[in-house]
């Protein structure tokens, strides 16, 4: 029985396979074809064994498929097979080009649906203890792409650097030097910075410093893309959380030593 040609654009969340919605999983289970991105956790594909899985991911300077070809594949498979799921990292409408795919599908007569995902811009900082807003510290936050479609640093970074808001920059590691120079230009050398690579996954790594020191931290820790840059006073909360964890581990170790000594 042939299914009605349909596209569902689905957010896969920030990387941890458990950070996906129940609705998204149900949609995966009803797919005939899944076109998935580079940043999704492959474990999610196990929820759709009935579907054909096709990688169409794009990474910096390594675009397997241009967006126009992905759009054409969506329509092709929907007309041939029925329900196509476009599985995208984070939330598909936050720098994910999900709206472009929906528009193209509708123009070609497909039914469409969108399932929001947990965006990495919020979940990744939270996973290391950074609250993007905090009473008395940060009243708002910016989420900015570090690299525009013209491969340049977004002008919004300059605007954000003049505020007291928390600044979250996605796809910005290639522009880190420029970002640092912008913030230095507004006298923000001592503002805390956190960089989290592969956030919420088992391969997560992070580094913390200030605008003045963060490039050296990145070099020393060999951090790279994909990573999220968080700039603002709230980044200090991550260090506070790490200190709590360290104290807890120290206390636990001392307790074990006491027990061993008593024995």
| E strand spans, the chain | 6-11, 33-36, 52-55, 58-59, 62-63, 83-88, 111-115, 141-145, 166-170, 192-197, 205-210, 227-231
Question: Catalytic pick from 58, 184, 221, 236?
Answer: 58
Question: Catalytic pick from 6, 16, 37, 188?
Answer: 37
Is 58 a known active-site residue?
Answer: yes
Cα 14 from chain centroid (whole Å): 5
Distance CA(24)–CA(103), nearest Å, equals 20
Distance CA(41)–CA(37), nearest Å, equals 9
Is 23 a known active-site residue?
Answer: no
- Which residues, other chains included, contact 143 with Cβ-Cβ below 8 Å and sequence gap of 6+? 94, 119, 121, 168, 170
Please return the burial class of 116, using the count of CB atoms within 10 Å of its CB with bins 0-12, 13-18 and 19+: middle
Query: What Å distances lie between residue 83 and 97, 111, 198, 230, 250, CA to CA?
Result: 19, 9, 30, 38, 53
Question: Catalytic pick from 6, 88, 91, 171?
Answer: 171
Partners of residue 63 on adjacent β-strands: 58
List active site positions: 37, 58, 171
């Amino acid at each position: 029985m042939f299914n009605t040609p349909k596209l569902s654009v689905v957010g896969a969340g920030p990387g941890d396979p458990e950070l996906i919605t129940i609705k998204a999983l149900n949609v995966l289970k009803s797919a005939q074809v899944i076109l998935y991105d580079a940043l999704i956790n492959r474990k999610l594909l196990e929820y759709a064994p009935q579907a054909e899985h096709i990688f169409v991911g794009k990474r910096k300077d390594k675009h397997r498929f241009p967006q126009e070809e992905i759009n054409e594949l969506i329509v092709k498979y929907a007309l041939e097979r029925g329900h196509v799921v476009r599985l995208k990292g984070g939330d598909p409408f936050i720098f994910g080009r999900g709206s472009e795919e929906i528009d193209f599908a509708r123009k070609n007569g497909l039914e469409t649906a969108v399932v929001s995902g947990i965006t990495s811009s919020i979940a990744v900082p939270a996973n290391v203890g950074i609250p993007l807003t905090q009473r008395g510290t940060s009243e708002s936050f910016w989420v900015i792409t570090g690299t525009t479609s013209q491969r340049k640093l977004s002008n919004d970074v300059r605007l954000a650097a003049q505020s007291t808001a928390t600044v979250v920059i996605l796809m910005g590691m290639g522009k880190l030097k420029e970002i640092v120079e912008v913030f230095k230009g507004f006298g923000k050398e001592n503002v805390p910075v956190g960089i989290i690579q592969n956030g919420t996954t088992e391969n997560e790594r992070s580094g913390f410093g200030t605008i003045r020191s963060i490039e050296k931290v990145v070099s020393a820790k060999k951090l790279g893309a994909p990573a999220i840059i968080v700039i603002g006073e709230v980044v200090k909360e991550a260090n506070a959380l790490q200190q709590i964890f360290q104290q807890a581990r120290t206390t636990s170790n001392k307790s074990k030593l006491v027990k061993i000594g008593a024995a």
